[in-house]
Amino acid sequence: VHVRAAAIYFLWIVLGILVIKQSCLMLVAWSFAAALAPRAYAIFRGENEKKRLQKRLSPFLLRILLSLKVGRGLRESLSSESQNEDSKLGAELQKFAIAIEKQHPFDHNDRRMRQMFDLFALLDREPAKIVTRIELFRKKIDCETQFSAKVAQILSQPRAQALVVGVLYCALILFLH
């Protein structure tokens, strides 16, 4: 993987040298963009994974609720539903279920996963009104998701305007250079 990334970086630099011959500033900017591209990709991929995890959290909680309403215990429901999940979320939820069973701390970079762990750890210790508490937590997650979607929709136009102004400003600087 590192060899492929180094080869792509090398080809990017060679292409930059061939295309941008007159301006040293443009060549530095071209190289800087190549150096930042892997980090930007990692950030984008991490955010994408986070969104995917949060999108699948509410259906997971719904399945836990249905399992609890059928008469299963909390640990049994959590364990069986985490095994039914696929991909990265399934692996994270299996770690989550094991941490609850063994009463170990669970550290995760996602705030909602930490909140869910705190809730389930509390429910494991104090099993009063489990279904009601999980339903409230699920509603809270859904409200937060809807709110963040509305905020993103509202902020999309100012961000697009800022991007256009930034591109025009960069074009003006290059024109004057």
Residue-wise pLDDT for 146-167, tens only, equals 998 999 999 999 999 999 999 9
The mean predicted confidence, pLDDT, of the chain is 84
Lowest mean pLDDT among 69-78, 85-94, 159-168: 85-94
- Over residues 33-63, the pLDDT tens digits come to 877 877 888 888 888 888 887 788 888 889 8
0.75 surpassed by pTM: no
User: Buried b vs exposed e over 135-146: b needs ≥16 C-beta within 10 Å?
Assistant: eebbeebeeebe
